[in-house]
Structure 1
């Protein structure tokens, strides 16, 4: 069988905090965090927000699915789609699920299971018949996936109760997923600089603008999120080629995001706001024969 040479990123949910359906969010979408990376024959999913339900509907068209799901953390907007991920209920499928251990010692398996217990949900996680294989991750760990040379690096992010950022490497190209992280006031996070070094695509938490972050009446300092202005500082420091602003604040409607995107592109023409349905393709180097 001929192996695929595709290296693509597809956005299934780009919102943060809470889903925002409605007429004012049609262009960018209202589902919460979920990003799919297809590297050759390897399928990687970052986070299981409400966008995971949409991805699941698409995957039902396949005969059988094997995928690797990496959770940044377990705040609701990153796990709420998991109980509605229909491929996980089918015994023909296999999902490798990765995540860090919370400060209280709970694993990602514990937290995904807890959200499906009474009185929060009608059926437990055990009703899912797919082969679910859970893996605990330590910050700084690198995971090798499959037999095509795909690796996923990890890094600790600055977020309440911790979160992990990820970098997919394949055939000389790289995609970084670094959402739910707050910048530091006096320096750029060294963990992020290492994770993002010379990345082709960076998906970054730009929930706020600088003005909102520092708003004297309602500051967002300490909430665990960053701004698009700080994203561009990281881009310059790490040599990133393209940044996708991600984890849009629920108060930011389509018109607001259009204005932010115009400002972003003026400073960095190859960058933009993430939106549902957007597909980005990279051209990986040819494999050695």
Structure 2
């Protein structure tokens, strides 16, 4: 789809008075080469419905249409942006739907029955809560290509025994295969944020129902362990497991939260689950 005849993103912003609102975490991407790179990072979009959150003036939305997305459902909280997107809706020949709503109140599966890819330059103030919400219901989601503050992206992809490794690392990597695709400097945005941003790609794993059922126990474990990350797990996990139960999983009780691997957290989660069944 060729959309080069439309007003530029800067012209759209000026026409509709779209001054970015800090309260909505808005930082607009205006360079089409950049948003096309994000769209390409999502892979083949043919036959796929794309969910976009926070389209703003529609730069990434245009790139997704150009990339051949069968349908785009854009969720936009700001009514000014919804109005600014009307020309793009008209040009999209039915391939673009814009919903004015808070994305935290909507489940992607309520919008789409078939395969879904989520592609978004997420507002900084709701990026992590949105990701966690989606991780709890991954059915139909083929992939998520999302932009965060770099510090959040580093936590998502962090390895064991690193400073960035934490609750978000374990949850994301237990449920999905993660990779950091590229960084964007503050100057790529309007207005420029104070931090570097990063695009992260997450592909849900094909986990069994048994393994998926461990997710709440893993969350409970990581909440306890990383809530006191400087302590040994014999202390930080004492509210959920005894030292004997930890040792039964061949895990030293002198280890700290960042030293435990995904496999070790899942083994401990199985122990907790077994205890629940025995009650």
Both proteins in one fold, TM over 0.5? no
The structure with the greater share of residues assigned to strand is 1
Q: Which has the higher contact order (CA 8 A, sep 6+)?
A: 1
Task: Say which one has the larger Rg.
Answer: 2
